[in-house]
Structure 1
Amino acid sequence: MKVVIALAPQMLREFLSSCLKEAESFALTVVAELEDGMEAISAVHEHAPDLLILGLALPRLSGISVINAVHPRHPDMKILVLTDYVDDLYVLEAFQAGANGYCIKDSSMDEMLLAIESVLAGDKFLSPGITAGVLGGYMEAHEKTREPTEWDFITQREREVLKLVAEGYKNKEIAEMLHVSCKTVEKHRSNIMSKLGVHNVAALTTYAIDRGLVKVKS
């Protein structure tokens, strides 16, 4: 079976790849290793892997955007999210987009391998440390009326534009990456600012960092 690993940092990605190659319980071939969201989409379309191991905080496109892009075309591919985000909303967004498992980066290698085995077998997987919180969040989101926030009104495309703006890309660069016109990007930026009630790039960047779309480089 083929595996694509789209994950940062590089050390973790290479370590996981090495472990998969040596694991006797799996017959897995790592066909691509990368840490960029757009490259992840290209790799999935090129290799049609059986398993995608995916981080959420990727450059250019977030892991959620990657899932939304590849899941419709590769519905049988298993997707295991490997991240340090433990907030219920991230977990719920990942599963709603099409993820099969959600594992925390600081899990033991045995737990990561168990996560891989579980999703390949067709089961859902949640790291034990977040299961209780996710169940609570799921109940709140689906059985109670939740007061919507401004985030709920931002479309998936607008979230992609917001992330790229926060990463410092110009309108022309964003237009080229997303295969749209500059005017479309400008419209998205205007809509985002209106919905969030902000008026400059600095405020957009701060919001993107707070939402976990962009990580502050140390």
Structure 2
Amino acid sequence: MLNLVTVVIADDHALVREGLKTILKSQSGISVLGMAENGEEAVRLCRRLNPDVALMDLSMPIKSGVQAIQELSGEGKTKFLALTAHVEPDHIYSALDAGASGYVLKTSSSKELVMAIETVMQGKVYLAPDISAEVAKGFLQRDRSNSCDSLESLTEREREVLKQVLAGYKNREIADLLVISVKTVEKHRSNFMKKLGLRSKAELKAYSEELKKKGIYL
């Protein structure tokens, strides 16, 4: 990582918090700004410190990690990494739908954790290898036989925005490129997500891969 990445750790187990802090402090490009022991404290801490990344345990008292992510999502620059022992699809989708940019298991290595942080900092979605198959399975079980028809339902501008999103551009960059406001980009993005039946960044990524396999280009 070229620039210093600031992190907040949220977990209700002190040993886990301290262990994560030790791992991250050993990385020259990461600074731990603070730690929270429940979801409510995590919300307050993230709003006050505005970290680059927040590691969120999903099962915390007072307010769950999913609730905290949902409440904070879109407020600042913070990207959220769900850190949990749960591998069930329902937990995965709940975290991603709430606004998490990644999902890491507590059984992951320190190397993988750092990789996950680097990935979300690049604006990408990180899914632990052990759960990637579950997400893909859930996505493919949904009706995707009408990919072409779904694309046809998009307006020309929605297709333009979708193309730039799939190319990895952020909302501000797309706004500048298409000479429209960021709010307009967000509106088009919301529209095509609904029309395509997509609920999260992970599903958008899977949809992009599906289009490529079918030879469909925007």
Gaps of 5+ in 2: 146-218
Map of 1:81 onto structure 2: 82
CA–CA distance in 1 between the matches of 2:111 and 2:143?
Answer: 33
- Summarize deviations over 1:40-64 as a string: whole Å, max 9, x none: 1000111111111100000111111
- Give runs of aligned pairs for residues 77-156 of structure 1, distance below 5 A: 77-141=78-142, 143=144
Change (3 A) 1:68 1:142: farther
CA contact (8 A) 2:12 2:61 kept: no
Q: Does 1:20 align with 2:24?
A: yes
CA–CA distance in 2 between the matches of 1:41 and 1:3?
Answer: 13
Map of 1:164 onto structure 2: none
Map of 1:181 onto structure 2: none
- Summarize deviations over 1:69-125 as a string: whole Å, max 9, x none: 001312x31111110010111111111111111000011111111111111122211
- Secondary structure of 2:55's partner? strand
- Summarize deviations over 1:128-179 as a string: whole Å, max 9, x none: 01111111112335649xxxxxxxxxxxxxxxxxxxxxxxxxxxxxxxxxxx
Change (3 A) 1:110 1:142: farther
Gaps of 5+ in 1: 145-218
Cα RMSD, aligned residues only: 1.6
Which portions of structure 1, spanning 4 or more consecutive aligned residues, are displaced by more than 2 angstroms? 138-144
CA–CA distance in 1 between the matches of 2:100 and 2:92?
Answer: 9
Map of 1:53 onto structure 2: 55
CA–CA distance in 1 between the matches of 2:79 and 2:74?
Answer: 12
Map of 2:44 onto structure 1: 42
Letter of the aligned partner of 2:57 in structure 1? G
Q: Percent same amino acid at aligned positions?
A: 33
TM, length-normalised to structure 1: 0.61
CA–CA distance in 2 between the matches of 1:54 and 1:141?
Answer: 28
Count the aligned residue pairs. Answer: 141
- Secondary structure of 1:13's partner? helix
CA contact (8 A) 1:92 1:138 kept: no
